[in-house]
Amino acid sequence: MPMIVALFAVGVLILIAWGVEFIGGHSGQLLLGVVVPYAAFAFFIVGFVWKVLGWMKVPVPFRIPTTCGQQDSLPWIKQSKLEAPSGAPGVIARMLLEVLFFRSLLRNTKSQAVDVGGPRLAYQTEIFLWLAGLAFHYTFLVVFIRHFRLFVGQVPFFVPPIEALDGWMQITLPTFYMSGGILVLAAGYLFIRRLINPQVKYISLVADYFPLLLIISIAITGILLRYVIKTDIVATKAFIASLFSLSPKLPDDPDAIGYMVFMHIFLVSTLVAYLPVSKIMHMGGVFLSPTRNLANNSRRVRHINPWNDPNIKPHSYEDYENDFREAMKSVGLPLEKDEE
């Protein structure tokens, strides 16, 4: 059911793009190609910054790293510096492993209860979520970088080498970029996994299917644009670059840029605007997770809690002794006040 809702939502978005472009003509293009992207981008910037600042404003009262390895204790016991870091370098390395290689996800296992003449729990390595997740994120990054060619007049220096790597197979004309294909496959796997893994299916919300379907739609419209539904690349590039130089200028000929370009732009804009209010904010949040970004040195260096309440006092020894003086005396326990 949540999947249907998400599918419906993405379908509506595609129809909107289609409809506006066909019915609206030039002003439709203006809406889809200029107004919506600018609005979406502004919303994204404000929303993202707002959200991250909002998180940073909340204090971290306690130092609570999850230790996934040996602590730093006695000098002759080998510390696991990456899994239980005790200082900034270790924490940075741990975060890099987490952000760049999804280290924690790599631990994933699948557990099953099996009857082998007696109860037995079986665990097996489950690497596909990690693999698909990694492929998904990295190909997304490559596709994003490749698009820099369109954003500015001069092609940035880092784009051609990435394109060369991405298209090393040199099949099809124009050169087939692996990244687009892998992106669709990986996102497709993550989507199908949501439908066939019973545990994941049961917890999945519209908000889980929607971004995947949206990204798949974006990738497919992009692939169609490159290989199937050709557009006037010079006019398109000029237009996109004009967007980025903040002096948007649509070509005078409304047919110069194909409808698919506007659909692609509209879907991307939706994703960009959706980002700050969605779970995709994990891209910012992962850096602020207190179980990962803190050093396991709580006994070595005192952590300060800004709202620590100094008025919370223990039940005092004095009260304790007053309660139990006779009993303590009877067994010869030392007393502060030995009186009647």
Write out the binding residues for another protein, residues 1-40 only, by CB under 8 A.
Answer: 1-2, 5
* Cα-based distances in Å from 279 to 81, 211, 269: 30, 9, 17
| Residue 212 CB contacts under 8 Å (≥ 6 apart), including other chains | 6, 187, 190, 191, 194
Are the C-beta atoms of residues 161 and 145 closer than 8 Å to each other?
no
150 is written with which tokens? 């369109």
Among 16, 63, 148, 175, binds another protein (CB under 8 A): 63
Using the minimum distance from each CB to another protein, give the nearer residue, 161 or 310. 310
Choose one: 48-56, 143-151, 213-221, 243-251; the region binding another protein (CB under 8 A): 48-56
Q: Which of residues 130-159 bind another protein (CB under 8 A)?
A: 133
Are the C-beta atoms of residues 176 and 164 closer than 8 Å to each other?
no
Is residue 322 close enough to count as binding another protein by CB under 8 A?
no
Sole residue written with tokens 């237009």: 239
Using the minimum distance from each CB to another protein, give the nearer residue, 172 or 305. 305
Using the minimum distance from each CB to another protein, give the nearer residue, 157 or 307. 307
CB atoms within 10 A of CB 143: 20
Total residues in contact with another protein, by rule CB under 8 A: 101
Closest separation in Å from C-beta 216 to another protein: 16
Using the minimum distance from each CB to another protein, give the nearer residue, 28 or 211. 211
Q: How far apart are alpha carbons 191 and 3 in whole angstroms?
A: 9
Choose one: 23-31, 107-115, 164-172, 227-235; the region binding another protein (CB under 8 A): 107-115
| Cα dihedral value 274, 276, 277, 278, nearest 10 | 70
DSSP symbol at 59: -
Among 24, 31, 48, 71, binds another protein (CB under 8 A): 71
Q: What are phi and psi of 126, to 5 degrees?
A: -125, 100
Using the minimum distance from each CB to another protein, give the nearer residue, 5 or 16. 5
Among 53, 115, 246, 339, binds another protein (CB under 8 A): 115
Q: Which of residues 194-253 bind another protein (CB under 8 A)?
A: 197-208
Q: How far apart are alpha carbons 215 and 132 in whole angstroms?
A: 14
Q: Which of residues 246-285 bind another protein (CB under 8 A)?
A: 277, 279, 281-282, 285
Closest separation in Å from C-beta 321 to another protein: 8
Among 147, 230, 249, 300, binds another protein (CB under 8 A): 300
Among 127, 320, 322, 338, binds another protein (CB under 8 A): 320
Q: How far apart are alpha carbons 168 and 70 in whole angstroms?
A: 43
Half-sphere exposure of 321 (CA within 13 A, CB side): 12
